[in-house]
Amino acid sequence: MSEMVSKFNGCHDCVKRTYHSGWNDKRYMDAAYEMYYADQQQKFNLVHVWELLKDEQKWCSLVSEISKRSKLADSSTLNTVLDVEDDIHERPFGVKAAKMQDKKRGKGKIEEATGSSHTANVLDQMWKVKKEELERKERISKQKIIDSLICKTEPLTEMEQNLKNNLMTEMYTAQLKLQMEQSERGE
């Protein structure tokens, strides 16, 4: 099976390498079928396998498609002698071009610096808001626990009593701390 797919792939690559004006993929496939039939004297019936494998590295064409211009450029560079001194002396930038380049460099650095500091400020503000929101949710959760323990009609167990006392002490100290901070700020 692998041999059949490999031979068909070779036929398809051969057909694809020869340029035919106006041909679409279907015409290339038909020509590949004909070439395979002429070579093997049997129809190729593993198209579904070839469709799956054609893009795999093993089945890709070894010869890369190169345009005529790049082929001509490569062959001309082999025959010419390079003059090293001409390459060393490059023409310097003009005054206007140098000024434009300096302006572009300066603007980029300023934009990068202000952009990154602005991003950092936004992230800090978002973190502060998120932290305050988490603290608020935690306070509300603790308050609900205290309320449920206070509203309980049966007597509290020792563990529930300890939890209630700890939470009330914690809430009281947090409230005092908040009031002290507000008085220091003059609110």
What's the pLDDT tens digit per position in 41-60? 888 888 888 788 777 777 66
What pLDDT is stored for residue 90 in this prediction?
Answer: 72
Across the range 79-102, mean pLDDT stands at 69
**DSSP code of 89?**
-
Rounded to whole angstroms, the Cα distance separating 44 from 11 reads: 11
What does the block give as tokens for 117?
């500091």
What is the Cα 48 distance to its own chain's centre? Answer: 33
Instruction: Share the mean pLDDT of the chain.
Output: 79
Q: Distances from the Cα of 167 to the Cαs of 131, 148, 159, 164, 172, in angstroms?
A: 20, 12, 12, 5, 8
What pLDDT is stored for residue 10 in this prediction?
Answer: 85
Q: What is the CA radius of gyration of the chain?
A: 39
What pLDDT is stored for residue 74 in this prediction?
Answer: 54
pLDDT of residue 130 exceeding 90, the answer is yes
Q: Distances from the Cα of 58 to the Cαs of 50, 91, 96, in angstroms?
A: 12, 48, 53
What pLDDT is stored for residue 87 in this prediction?
Answer: 52
**How is the chain split into domains, by residue range?**
2-60, 95-185
pLDDT of residue 33 exceeding 80, the answer is yes
What pLDDT is stored for residue 169 in this prediction?
Answer: 92
